[in-house]
């Protein structure tokens, strides 16, 4: 009887695993190069650049500007992001082109006279926007690593904006649903605003955006931060209650930083340092679970889920207290990414019951005080790799289109701690380390990551998803390294998430078997089912040298290569 039960259980688990396997696209393998993005047109733009002889950075620049046209809700000129780069020879670098607070920003700018947050002010309208970093970031990447002419990298985006492109069904749905919101904040109109209903396949032309892109093509970063485009941005600020000035724009600089580097079971993990919290948190999570037999326990087994959730609970508590812009705050990176420290934090974890989040406090160190984003992964024929995550924070950012320039502004100011202890758009808490200060970069969860094995490229991964970014990348890495999934299976697998507070496990519909959910709830874990988490883009280098690409089925994400 016991044997029959085991056979039935194994069969059930096999069937459960089959539900997330996308057999149609689970074996996308390419010999010379691979590009995985949130939109099929952007992916094709990247591949075309690689075929012309461009390297991974060239393709990344072309993809980034193409996404500004075909994926306006996140891949926009009015935002910023982070890039992690690994050359074929193993050279590592990371680029911070995160948005910054305007010089006139103040710590209490979103509080009322009683000191309470006025939530709408940091989410909608001109005041919600930080100084954009995208154009400066791509300019810096090109000057350091680009090989093809700059204008060649902008031309695909210019053509897409001027001639238009057919929108997807998902885009048509979003465009229609948000028409009234756009009209309220854009009285002079915008390309996305129309009287007729948008339908799948309709051409979306953006003439003003095409002109903005042409100015960047002709003058590089000065085509955005000076001259006509800068004038249009400042005029937009003055139409509302925005703070960005000509001086803010001219002063903006992207920054090259040293990547966060650590290890997990013989794999070298390379990710983004602060002001992204992603790299620090990812390494801490991997270190926290490294000593546990996850492979033996299995994918989303009872014990696996408990250990991962308890690690997430502790790491997010530290994130809320200790992480911020390193140019303004002394971030204890070395302590937070120390494997002995993280394993010691897990030593008191019980697999028999949940640890209430109120009992988990941020660590103390001496001397220390959107969900709509988009990610793409690229590997070229020589093995150069780019992992780049970019955002305007919430889907469609502040909902403000720069009149005359044709692009959306971010609402990244909400990623600061508007008031310490008050959650942001994604429920994330923050403290003094992430308080608003002029010229400061707001904390982010973006986690662009590259993994090596034995000195060779192994994986390029990242995702959007607000607070769930870190845990989505964490799970995808474990899916490959512990549970032997293909690239596509790793991104299609159902996901769960815990972020310390609120004290609950958020789960996708197919995540965590119902019987295991009941076991967890019995032992004090609160579980809430929600919609999709993230849209992971993953490239895995196979032993034969081929590139296996996985594009998340949760959106229009597409893997292409040659």
* Residues marked as catalytic: 373
- Residues 6 or more apart whose CB falls under 8 angstroms from that of 47 comprise 33, 35, 59, 560, 561, 562
DSSP 167: P
**Of residues 429, 431, 437, the one with CA closest to residue 413:** 437
Give exposure, 149-186, as e/b (b: 16+ Cβ within 10 Å).
ebebbbbbbbbbbbebbebbeebbebbeebeeebeebb
User: Do 313 and 319 contact (CB within 8 A), yes or no?
Assistant: no
- Residues 6 or more apart whose CB falls under 8 angstroms from that of 539 comprise 34, 36, 377, 378, 379, 385, 459, 460, 461, 487, 547, 548, 549, 550, 559
Q: d(Cα 309, Cα 519) in Å, to the nearest integer?
A: 14
Radius of gyration of the chain (CA): 23
Phi, psi (5° rounding) for residue 133? -120, -5
* Tally of helices (H runs) and strands (E runs) in the chain: 19, 19
Q: d(Cα 200, Cα 333) in Å, to the nearest integer?
A: 47
User: Do 252 and 131 contact (CB within 8 A), yes or no?
Assistant: yes
């Amino acid at each position: 009887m016991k044997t029959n039960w085991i056979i039935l259980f194994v069969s059930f688990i096999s069937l459960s695993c089959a539900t997330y396997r996308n057999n149609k696209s689970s074996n996308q393998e390419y010999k010379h190069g691979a590009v995985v993005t949130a939109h099929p047109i952007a992916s094709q733009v990247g591949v075309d650049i690689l075929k012309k002889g461009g390297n991974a950075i060239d393709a990344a620049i072309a993809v980034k500007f193409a996404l500004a046209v075909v994926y306006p809700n996140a891949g926009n000129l009015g935002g910023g992001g982070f890039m992690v780069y690994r050359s074929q020879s193993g050279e590592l670098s990371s680029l911070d082109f995160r948005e910054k607070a305007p010089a006139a920003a103040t710590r209490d700018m979103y509080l009322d006279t009683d000191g309470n947050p006025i939530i709408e002010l940091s989410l909608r309208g001109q005041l919600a926007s930080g100084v954009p970093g995208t154009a400066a970031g791509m300019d810096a990447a090109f000057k350091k690593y680009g090989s093809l002419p700059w204008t060649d990298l902008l031309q695909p985006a210019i053509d897409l904006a001027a001639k238009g492109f057919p929108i997807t069904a998902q885009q048509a749905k979003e465009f229609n649903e948000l028409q009234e919101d756009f009209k309220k904040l854009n009285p002079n109109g915008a390309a996305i605003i129309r009287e007729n209903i948008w339908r799948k396949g309709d051409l979306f032309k953006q003439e003003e955006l095409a002109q903005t892109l042409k100015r960047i093509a002709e003058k590089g970063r000065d085509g955005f931060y000076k001259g006509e485009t800068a004038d249009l941005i400042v005029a937009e600020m003055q139409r509302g209650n925005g703070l960005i000035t000509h001086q803010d724009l001219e002063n903006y600089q992207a920054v090259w930083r040293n990547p966060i580097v650590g290890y997990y079971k013989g794999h070298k993990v390379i990710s983004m340092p602060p002001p992204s919290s992603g790299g620090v948190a990812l390494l801490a999570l991997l270190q926290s679970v490294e000593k546990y037999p996850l492979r033996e326990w299995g994918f989303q087994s009872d014990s696996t889920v408990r250990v991962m959730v308890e690690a997430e609970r502790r790491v997010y508590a530290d994130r809320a207290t200790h992480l911020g812009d390193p140019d303004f705050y002394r971030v204890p990176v070395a302590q937070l990414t120390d494997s002995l420290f993280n394993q010691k934090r897990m030593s008191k974890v019980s697999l028999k019951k949940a640890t209430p989040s109120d009992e988990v406090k941020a660590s103390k160190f001496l001397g220390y005080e959107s969900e709509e984003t988009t990610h793409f992964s690229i590997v070229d024929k020589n093995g150069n790799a780019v992992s780049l995550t970019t955002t305007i924070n919430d889907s469609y950012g502040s909902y403000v289109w720069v009149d005359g320039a044709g692009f959306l502004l971010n609402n990244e100011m909400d990623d600061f701690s508007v008031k310490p202890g008050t959650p942001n758009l994604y429920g994330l808490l923050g403290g003094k380390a992430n308080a608003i200060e002029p010229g400061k970069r707001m904390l982010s969860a973006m986690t662009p990551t590259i993994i090596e094995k034995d000195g060779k490229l192994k994986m390029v991964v990242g995702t959007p998803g607000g607070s769930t970014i870190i845990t989505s990348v964490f799970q995808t890495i474990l899916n490959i390294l512990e549970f032997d999934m293909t690239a596509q299976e790793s991104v299609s697998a159902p996901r769960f998430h815990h972020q310390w507070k609120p004290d609950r496990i958020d789960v996708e519909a197919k995540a965590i078997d119902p019987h295991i959910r009941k076991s967890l709830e019995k032992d004090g874990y609160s579980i809430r089912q929600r919609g999709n988490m993230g849209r992971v883009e993953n490239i895995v280098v196979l032993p034969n040298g081929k590139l296996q690409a996985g594009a998340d089925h949760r959106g229009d994400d597409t893997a292409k290569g040659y």
